[in-house]
Structure 1
Amino acid sequence: MSQIHLEKKGLRGLVIAESFKPRDKRSRLAGIVMRRDFVIDGFVFGHCTIGGDDATNSILKMYSKLGRDDINFVLVSGLIIAMYNVIDVVTIHKQTGLPVIGVTYEDSQGIESAIKHHFPDSYESKIEKYRKLGRRSKVRLHTGYDIYLRTEGCTTKEAQKLLDHFTLQGTVPEPLRVAQLLAKSL
């Protein structure tokens, strides 16, 4: 298993968020590279299909576009984006060699029935991808707020420590907040 080297002064993450409007066919993805000291030293953009199956490849292309070897982890706002476009964290971890962390903010009982409703003729593969994500882990940040994590390539405890460092207030870690603002501005 990889590790997030929290002791590294130059620790950097590729942090990705999305934004789309109701009639859009594609969701806009914004990625930032943020250092441990909150300095942003890179941007990258991508897109994925609303309701599609291309989010994983889009994120891998974004990582590749950066052409950097100093990124230490990938942090994503949600692993089911763009109306059920499921991100495969195992594939991203294997192809980049980096720990991957997906963050969500609300408890839920799952989305299998919603997938069946929206994809009545093709839901099996989406549900299989969704189930492969596994269960989320609830963690409490140093701010006193709970968030939910899925990780690949690091432990939940390592991810929690990392997010504690990057969370100044409330529930949203600073790099995710910035990436979300950037995605919405597109």
Structure 2
Amino acid sequence: MERNTGARRTHIKQEIRILGIDDSPLISEDILVVGAVMRGGEWLEGVLRTYIKKDGLDATGKLVDMVRSSKHFGQIRVAMLNGVTMGGFNAVDMEALYESTGIPVISVMRKPPDMASIKSALKNLSEPEHRFEVISRAGNAIEVPAKRGKPIYMQYKGLDADSALNIVRSSTTHSRVPEPLRVAHLIATGIVLGESSPRP
């Protein structure tokens, strides 16, 4: 498997603390981002949150602040993203997130990114070259053999490919995607859709 520059072997425990990060539906200009701190793929231990701008340029800084200010900061061993863009095309710089927190980062996606389509879509936003550079720095997407259904794909910074693969597979317990991401998605979606629903 491809090796990541500066990567390190991460000791994998069954109950490694993973921070799954996902955004909410795009129903406003301020997008809720939720972090779910889990022990492996089973136990939820904490919930973090921050807000980013839809199609903005602040995702990386907001995630760094969210992680570093958390009471769980010293226990988190891996941060896991649902792709490197959130809030539309607010791109997360995986290298900067790793370097600023010291926590390895894994991006998980259902299919490999179509870089040509992404580059075309970015033309409609501010600083398209910068956004594309940040997205490209995530590196090649590596296929993760499926436990069930179709395979998923990952990108990684701050750890080696075998460690990243083991973390993704060991935390995929109840669906096609790792449980920390599934839980973060459920929480973010539930909060935002619940707040937007009319009260009886």
Q: Does 1:35 align with 2:39?
A: yes
Aligned match of 2:11 in 2, 5, 8? 5
The alignment yields a C-alpha RMSD, in angstroms, of 1.7
Q: 1:2 to 1:155 in 2, by over 3 A?
A: closer
Check conservation: 1:52, 1:85, Cα contact below 8 A: yes
Match of 2:121 in 1: 114
Where does the alignment leave 5 or more consecutive residues of structure 2 unmatched? 1-6, 192-200
Paired residues of 1:143 and 1:171 also in contact (CA < 8 A): yes
Distance 1:38 1:181 in 2: 15
> Residue deviations 1:54-98, cap 9 Å, x none?
111111111022133111110111111111111011111111111
| Cα distance change on mapping 1:169 and 1:143 into 2, 3 Å | farther
**Number of aligned pairs?**
182
Contact 1:15 1:33 in 2 (8 A): yes
- SS in structure 2 at match of 1:66: coil
| Residue matched to 1:86 | 91
When normalised by structure 2's length, the TM-score is 0.84
Query: Is contact 1:102–1:149 with CA below 8 Å preserved after alignment?
Result: yes
1:185 to 178, 186, 190: 190
Q: TM-score, normalised by structure 1?
A: 0.89
Q: Distance in 1 between matches of 2:52 and 2:42?
A: 27
Could you tell me whether the CA contact under 8 Å between 1:77 and 1:176 is conserved in 2? Answer: yes
Deviation at 1:142, TM superposition (A): 2.8
Segments of 5+ residues of structure 1 without an aligned counterpart are none
1:105-184 equivalences in 2 (<5 Å): 105-110=110-115, 111-116=118-123, 118-119=124-125, 122-184=127-189
Q: Distance in 2 between matches of 1:132 and 1:108?
A: 13
Mark the CA change 1:108 to 1:133 in structure 2 (over 3 Å): closer, same or farther.
closer
Matched, 1:104 2:104: no
Query: 1:73 pairs with 65, 75, 78, which one?
Result: 78
Q: Where has structure 1 moved over 6 Å in runs of 4 or more?
A: none
> Which residue is 1:50 aligned to?
54
CA distance in 2: counterparts of 1:37 and 1:181, whole angstroms = 15
1:32–1:108 distance in 2 versus 1, CA, 3 Å? closer
Aligned AA (1:112): K
| 3-state SS of paired residue (2:69) | helix
| Residues 41 and 172, structure 2, Cα contact 8 Å, conserved in 1 | no
% identical equivalent positions: 27
